[in-house]
Amino acid sequence: MNMQAAPRHTVGTAPQVGQPHTRNDQACHDLSIRVRDLNLWYGQTQALKNLNIDLFEKNVTALIGPSGCGKSTFLRCLNRMNDLIPSVRIEGLVEMDGRDVNATKMDEVALRRRVGMVFQKPNPFPKSIYENIAYAPRMHDLVSRKAEQDELVEKALRDAGLWNEVKDKLHEPGTSLSGGQQQRLCIARAIAVQPDVILMDEPTSALDPISTATIEDLMDKLKQQFTIVTVTHNMQQAARVADYTAFFHLGEIVEYNDTKTMFSNPATKKAEDYITGRYG
């Protein structure tokens, strides 16, 4: 595989990303999100240049790259959070389920129900732990009775590995938890609406090593149910949790490969320099 230029991936179940030697080797590699020729401008400055990438269902994809290279910007394209920034202009295709995410017909509220997000800094609502989880499903009419709601809250908290720690204080404020617990609460909040994709923007950068390890384990578990796209500056983390890794540089995807290849035998010099810490 020659990867001097940004790779162009074709549609299909067999991705052209070298030979994926991931843990999911035999598992499905169904396409979740397809990105073609994506360009994004903040006013006059172009932040994303001609991105092409296929994100696979029920895998963890890590986005790595130096600061300011557009990882967060790209992540926000996937659930249209960039809509909130007035100066943004987007061209190109982001396709999910055969639908153009950026089409005017696409309701961004519907999109965000299917593509949840966990932010860099834990940002629980200033409400109780219970309300943090129950709010969104109730809003989306996913639950009708109180019992259903209780059940869903418990399930989300269990999936996020937080249940045992908070089951006795569900009605205490979400912000009274520790940073790591808050981040897991945010993950629980995201999975409570039963999305297909969860975007995580440096979810562990504000956390201590133990909380980080907890969340990494969690991602490994959650990928059975969800497609996870995560941004990280931590190479070991990417190597540990990701099935695929995309290396961003100056708004371009320089290399996209299965994680094992990316870290053992990167195809591009830039990626190799970055991964081995010789960058900059």
Partner 1 sequence: MSQSFDEISAQLQRRHRKSARLKWLSMGALGLAGLFLVLFFADMLSKGLPAFQQAQIRVELDYNEDATRMGRAALDPEVSRLVSRTFERLIPGMLADDPELLGTTETRWVLANAQVDQYLKGHTHRLNAAQQATVDRLAEEGNVALKFNTTFFTSGDSKMAEASGILAAALGTVMTMLVTLAIAFPIGVMTAVYLEEFAPDNRLTQIIEININNLAAIPSILFGLLGLAIFISFFGVPRSSPLVGGMTLALMTLPVIIIATRTALRSVPDSIRHAAFGVGCSRWQVVRDHVLPLAMPGIMTGSIIGLAQAMGETAPLIIVGMVAFIPDVSATFTNAATVLPAQIFTWAGEPDKAFVEKTAGGILVLLAILIFLNATAVVLRKKFERRW
Ligand X SMILES: Nc1ncnc2c1ncn2[C@@H]1O[C@H](COP(=O)(O)OP(=O)(O)OP(=O)(O)O)[C@@H](O)[C@H]1O
Residue 245 in contact with ligand X, rule: CB under 6 A: no
Q: Which H or E run contains 120? A: none
Q: Residue 86's closest CA among 120, 138, 41, 128? A: 41
Q: Residue 226's closest CA among 195, 186, 258, 201? A: 195
Residue 72 in contact with Mg ion, rule: CB under 5 A: yes
Of partner 1, ligand X, Mg ion, none, which one does residue 103 interact with (CB within 5 to 8 Å by kind)? Answer: none
Contact predicate 77/47, CB 8 Å: no
Sign of the dihedral through C-alpha 94, 99, 104, 108: negative
Q: Judged by CB, which is closer to ligand X: 85, or 110?
A: 85
Per-residue binding string, ligand X, 20-49, x by CB under 6 A, is ----------------------x----x--
Residue 230 in contact with ligand X, rule: CB under 6 A: no
Of Mg ion, ligand X, partner 1, none, which one does residue 11 interact with (CB within 5 to 8 Å by kind)? Answer: none
Q: Judged by CB, which is closer to partner 1: 10, or 178?
A: 178
Cα 91 to chain centroid, rounded:
21
Of ligand X, partner 1, Mg ion, none, which one does residue 160 interact with (CB within 5 to 8 Å by kind)? Answer: none
Helix, coil or strand: residue 228: strand
Cα 175 to chain centroid, rounded:
23
- As measured in angstroms, the least distance from the Cβ of 155 to partner 1 is 16
Q: Which of 20, 70, 116, 161 binds ligand X (CB under 6 A)?
A: 70
